Amino acid sequence: MMRQIRVTIGHLILTGTLEEELAPVTCAAFIALLPLRAKLLQARWSGQSAYVPLEDLHIRLDPENEMHRPSPGQVLFYPAGSSPTEILMPYGVTAFAAVCGPLSGNHFLTISDGDGLREMGRRVVWEGAQDITFDIVSDAVA
């Protein structure tokens, strides 16, 4: 069974599928953080992408299903390293980077709702920081 994650951004609700076969360790580390409440901001260096800064979270993860140029909806987890810990949420053309240069993150979650991703992008660009919550979709809801 493929576990689903609900991503709530204000009244916008997106659902993603955990990539547990390709990134089992990253998915387990992410699940341990749930429910996760944070802020979603427009990425400064990565193009058409938003990110969730998790600067106080110090977690060790090896590269797993790693990518630098994710497609819209290919959510990446970046553990602290050359840049602080973050979750990158692409909604358009993205090349993951930070002030220190190009980065790669672990693709652990896929969101397929293109319209929802575009709305997420519109919100972070035109309305600024957004409240975001990640939680597991229970079997009763799925």
The CATH number covering residue 129 comes to 2.40.100.20
Q: Which pTM does this prediction carry?
A: 0.94
pLDDT per residue as tens, the chain (142 positions):
689 999 999 999 999 999 999 999 999 999 999 999 999 999 999 999 999 999 888 888 999 999 999 999 999 999 978 888 999 999 999 999 999 999 999 999 999 999 999 999 999 999 999 999 999 998 644 4
Q: Please give the tally of structural domains in the chain.
A: 1
Q: What is the pLDDT of residue 81?
A: 80
The answer to the question of residue 141 being in a domain is no
The answer to the question of residue 124 being in a domain is yes
The answer to the question of residue 91 being in a domain is yes
The answer to the question of residue 92 being in a domain is yes
* The pair of three-digit structure tokens given for residue 135, joined into one six-digit string: 């939680």
Q: What is the pLDDT of residue 139?
A: 63
Asked if 36 and 72 count as a contact pair (C-beta separation under 8 A), the reply is no
Range of the domain at 44: 4-136
The answer to the question of residue 142 being in a domain is no
The answer to the question of residue 118 being in a domain is yes
